[in-house]
Amino acid sequence: MELFRNVNVDWMGKAKYFVTLSLLLLAIGWISIYRTVVLKHGTLYGIDFRGGTLVYVRFAGPPPIDKLRKGLEQAGLKNSTIQGISDSENLGSKNDVVIGLEQSGSDESLDAGKQKILDVLRATFGGNLAGRPDFNSVAPSDLADNLTRRDPLTLGTKAGDSYNQLAKRLTAARDSDHGGIVTNFDQLNNVAGVTPAVINTLSSDYALSSFAIRDAEIVGPRVGSQLRHQAVWATLYALGGMLVYIAFRFEWVYGAAAVIAVFHDVLITLGFFSLFHYEISLTVIAALLTLVGYSMNDTIVIFDRVRENLRLMKRESFPDIVNRSINQTLSRTILTSGLTFLTVLVLYVTGGEVLRAFSFAMVIGVVVGTYSSFGIAAPIVVVWNKYHGGRQQGVTVRAGSAAEKRVVAAARR
């Protein structure tokens, strides 16, 4: 099977459309960023980079958001935000809620906000814990200790590691099969090694709250700015490293063009992030780095072909050689990018909430990254070549030849 054969497109002739398109995309994205940051005094940064508190809670049923909001307000957390998560196809996550709290300027301890949120949750949704620990938040080791002490299987001194294993299986069943929340101890009946005696012990020693903390993050102001600083510098150093390597393998203008192209990709992707209201987290930084890798990869494949063709085609103009190179590698470009796009699309659709922002960055990035290789990087090299010597008119030494006139005409077109 073959999709592309003998493509003959004058890519460089369309360069000005590409540049216009890029400027348009950049403008749309960055107007959106301007709106968020300057006009609405918001931020693109997630909690990793701006600091603050975030508690990710799962409820056993549909989240009672009004009750929760009231509880938080009564506890003095007026600037808290509550966000429901409902767009995941993942089982049970319709009941998930993220409670956010901005950095408090005061000097109270780092986790004061989290403690208050937990207190509100326990008071409002803790159910009748009556002094018993909550099974939905017990750690395997504590559960194992309790089981060993109570010995529901009457193993006595022969217990050995059995209760440790049982505790691990029980918590694994809770976390993997029931999404972190057990609403009734009978749900654990089919866990290997569980007998009615075990269930009895559990229900007499533990209570079941109707919520579970899935994730809690507290980032202090210093860490936020530090992470921001470091992510930016690591990326810039990485770009610098690539620029030097490409300059060493090709010419410096190729390195510069490749780096400008990936920079362009990152800027456009950030614009889309703002447009679709995603926040930039550490995981998103990993996605941006991945797309830098892809885009760079694409660009180098084309440049490699240009370098090879420069040796093979002595008579053709530089823009023609670039066009030929892009056309020759087009099949590969479409295939690889298409497959990658498919991969990240699968990830975006099925990857769940945690990977959502990450895969969104990848979906945008793969498209923009592929496009920038021929739409931005290649034209930069061509334009630079036009004004700074290099080979422009093929082998122009044979002045006045028909070939030269044809090439010059082509170059002017």
> Minimum distance from CB of 380 to another protein (Å)?
17
Residue position matching structure tokens 């990869």: 297
199: nearest Cα among 170, 168, 165? 170
Using a 10 angstrom Cβ sphere, with 0-12 exposed, 13-18 middle and 19 or more buried, the burial of residue 169 is middle
11: nearest Cα among 372, 404, 389? 372
Q: Is the dihedral of CA 302, 307, 310, 313 positive or negative?
A: negative
305 binds another protein (CB under 8 A): yes
324 binds another protein (CB under 8 A): no
> Minimum distance from CB of 31 to another protein (Å)?
29
Site residue total, another protein (CB under 8 A) = 88
> Minimum distance from CB of 370 to another protein (Å)?
11
Q: Residue 8 or 154: which CB sits closer to another protein?
A: 8
> Minimum distance from CB of 109 to another protein (Å)?
7
Provide the mask over 54-83, with x wherever binding to another protein is found by CB under 8 A and - wherever it is not. Answer: --x-x-------------------------
> Minimum distance from CB of 34 to another protein (Å)?
28
By CB under 8 A, what part of segment 90-119 binds another protein?
Answer: 90, 109-111, 114-115
Among 240, 277, 398, 409, which residue sits at the site for another protein (rule: CB under 8 A)?
240
Name the one range near another protein by CB under 8 A: 78-86, 123-131, 271-279, 346-354.
Answer: 346-354
Alpha helical stretches, state H, 57-111: 65-74
Q: Residue 242 or 368: which CB sits closer to another protein?
A: 242
Provide the mask over 117-146, with x wherever binding to another protein is found by CB under 8 A and - wherever it is not. Answer: --------------------x-xxx-----
CA–CA separation, 96 and 120 (whole Å): 16
231 binds another protein (CB under 8 A): yes
84 binds another protein (CB under 8 A): no
Among 155, 286, 398, 409, which residue sits at the site for another protein (rule: CB under 8 A)?
286
Among 37, 150, 205, 245, which residue sits at the site for another protein (rule: CB under 8 A)?
245
Among 23, 226, 277, 398, which residue sits at the site for another protein (rule: CB under 8 A)?
226
Q: Helix (H, G, I), strand (E, B), or coil: what is residue 273? A: helix
Task: Estimate to the nearest angstrom the gap between the alpha carbon of 338 and the chain centroid.
Answer: 19
Contact 321, 396 (CB under 8 A): no
Among 188, 227, 266, 357, which residue sits at the site for another protein (rule: CB under 8 A)?
227
Q: Helix 378-387 to helix 252-275 angle, to the nearest 10 degrees?
A: 140
By CB under 8 A, what part of segment 162-221 binds another protein?
Answer: 171-172, 174-176, 179-181, 212-220
367: nearest Cα among 338, 396, 399? 338
Residues 6+ apart with CB under 8 A from 312: none
Residues 6+ apart with CB under 8 A from 112: 104
CA–CA separation, 87 and 68 (whole Å): 21
DSSP-assigned letter for residue 157:
G
Q: Residue 97 or 181: which CB sits closer to another protein?
A: 181
Name the one range near another protein by CB under 8 A: 11-19, 152-160, 334-342, 389-397.
Answer: 334-342
Q: Residue 362 or 378: which CB sits closer to another protein?
A: 362
φ, ψ dihedrals at 250, nearest 5°:
-115, -120
Q: Helix 402-412 to helix 318-350 angle, to the nearest 10 degrees?
A: 40
Residues 6+ apart with CB under 8 A from 190: none
Name the one range near another protein by CB under 8 A: 33-41, 198-206, 344-352, 370-378.
Answer: 344-352
